[in-house]
Amino acid sequence: MKTVSMIPRSVKLPLSDDVVETLHAGDELLLTGVMYVGRDAAHKRMIETLEAGEMLPVDLKGQTIYFMGPTPARPGKIIGSAGPTSSYRMDFYSPRLMAEGLKGMIGKGMRSREVKEAMNRYKAVYLGAIGGAGALISRCIQKVEVVAYDDLGAEALRRIVVQDFPVTVVNDIYGGDIYEQGRAQFRIAAPHPAAVQ
Amino acid sequence: MREIDSKMVTETISTLLQDGCYHLSDDVIAALRQAYEREESPAARNVLAKLLENAEAATRDEIPLCQDTGMAVVFLELGQDVHMIGGDLYEAVHEGTRRAYARGYLRKSVVDKPFSARTNTRDNTPAVIHTTIVPGEKLKITALSKGFGSENMSRLAMLTPAGGRQGVIDFVVKCVDEAGANPCPPIIVGVGIGGTAEKCMLLAKQSLLRQVGEPHADSEVAELESEILKRVNDLGIGAMGYGGRITALAVHVEVFPTHIAALPVAVNLQCHSVRHREATL
Ligand code: SF4
């Protein structure tokens, strides 16, 4: 089943402003390089660290965070199923991390207005991975290591190396939003109930 | 009277839950294929193709379909002439859940003290159990791993009877519209109509246990299902919310009598990672 008309573009991580500027909502990308993995608990910890006036355990400049909590790895494997989690739960934390230099976020589902404004201000992008495709995405992950917050177990902050990880640009720095654009393109307006009578 | 050993219940539930998390069932694969054929949006087609590849990868690589292996929801239909032996039936269900999530390398996603400490129970227990007593001497078990990206988009409305059929349709469509990309479309829309508030939501959940797209036996309800499906797919949300013709693979409605003063409607969404299995002991 491979009749995809769009040809995904290969992008190396970490991201520079120059690359971020070329990304537009709807672009399909294949990401290769290093990214961090964290979800609710790791985000909460990072913000607490910053609020205490301390340094983050990793330098986020140019980095990408993947919102994901994997299934346990089987013996002999480095990771289990590894698809995205809903991003809105990270909305509260993301702007602060973008201020620290975060350039990319990967998840699924809609972001808040505040996050979109911060993406525009700090030149960062939000990328969508395919929710429920954790088995397929797992194949793109070549290396996994815990870098901080060990005690959080499955939710610890991890660094992973990926090869050709397929994502779609959801929000770009120009206000583009594939959820809104896609819906507008395919929406068929319902007849107004009053008009039907 | 017939005796059933609760150890059988434990083993059965462990097998059913693991099977569901690793193998997408034939009805869902067929529905995804059909969606792929009908979809016009290249971005959505790409997603649907990848979901089909994912199902193959899960089976081949022995990796769960999705990393959110959910909370276990177990439906027991217990024949009234069954005598359970070998221990507490519900404990057997929890033990089956525990075993499935440990042996199957599934993610333990259940937390205790939900509004405060939120401590992980570390074995994905407890399961949510719904029991009905039925005639006969069999025990039918249905086990569902329910992901929360879609569960979080559930809604209940206590409409007024004046709202009628149109009110039901509008409410369901609004729920799907607001959920947008969050529940991992393409979805199955579970709808309960009638009963009390809690009964209504249970109906919506139970509707998700049907084979995908199997219409309700009552033609009036089946017509409602297809009308809602059309309206939902006209929203244009598409697979993963990237825009497209197929937002839902199916709409399933279950109904129950209600009070003269009420028209309860519940919506419980199921993502494409449909994971339920049943067995009869
Ligand atoms: S909504 Fe379903 S497919 Fe999406 S991440 Fe959750 S369990 Fe997986």
Mean pLDDT by 10 residues, chain A (197 residues): 63 96 97 97 95 95 96 95 96 97 97 97 98 97 95 90 98 97 92 51
Q: Token pair 């937002």 is at which residue?
A: B247
Architecture of domain A9-189: Alpha-Beta Barrel (3.20)
**What is the pTM (predicted TM-score) of this model?**
0.94
State how far residue B5 is from chain A, nearest Cα, in angstroms.
Answer: 31
Do residues B270 and B187 touch, judged by C-beta distance below 8 A? yes
Cβ distance of B235 and A187 shorter than 8 Å: yes
Segments making up each domain of chain B, as ranges = 2-20+65-146, 149-274
How far is it, in rounded angstroms, from Cα B240 to Cα B233? 13
B270 lines ligand 1 (CB under 6 A): no
Per-residue pLDDT tens, chain B, 281 aa: give them.
999 999 999 999 999 999 999 999 999 999 999 999 999 999 999 999 999 999 999 999 999 999 999 999 999 999 999 999 999 999 999 999 999 999 999 999 999 999 998 889 999 999 999 999 999 999 999 999 999 999 999 999 999 999 999 999 999 999 999 999 999 999 999 999 999 999 999 999 999 999 998 999 999 999 999 999 999 999 999 999 999 999 999 999 999 999 999 999 999 999 999 999 999 99
What pLDDT does residue A111 have?
A: 97
Angle of the B26-38 helix axis to the B42-61 helix axis, nearest 10: 160
pLDDT computed for residue A154 by the predictor:
77
Q: Is B154 in the pocket of ligand 1 (CB under 6 A)?
A: no
Please classify residue B27 by burial: count the beta carbons closer than 10 Å to its beta carbon, then call 0-12 exposed, 13-18 middle and 19+ buried. Answer: middle
User: Which residues of A are less than 8 Å from B182 in CB distance?
Assistant: 86, 88, 108-110
Residue nearest to atom 8 of ligand 1 (CA): A132
In this structure, are strands A125-128 and A9-12 parallel, antiparallel, or unpaired?
A: unpaired
For chain A, the structural domain boundaries read 9-189
Report the chain B residue with the minimal C-alpha distance to residue A41.
B118
Reported as a single tens digit per residue, the pLDDT across A55-88 is 999 999 999 999 999 999 999 999 999 999 999 9
What pLDDT does A155 receive?
87
Asked whether the beta carbons of A172 and A180 are under 8 A apart, the reply is no
Alpha helices, DSSP H only, in chain B?
6-22, 26-38, 42-61, 89-103, 148-151, 164-179, 197-207, 219-233
The answer, for B236 touching chain A at a CB cutoff of 8 Å, is yes
Residue nearest to atom 7 of ligand 1 (CA): B147
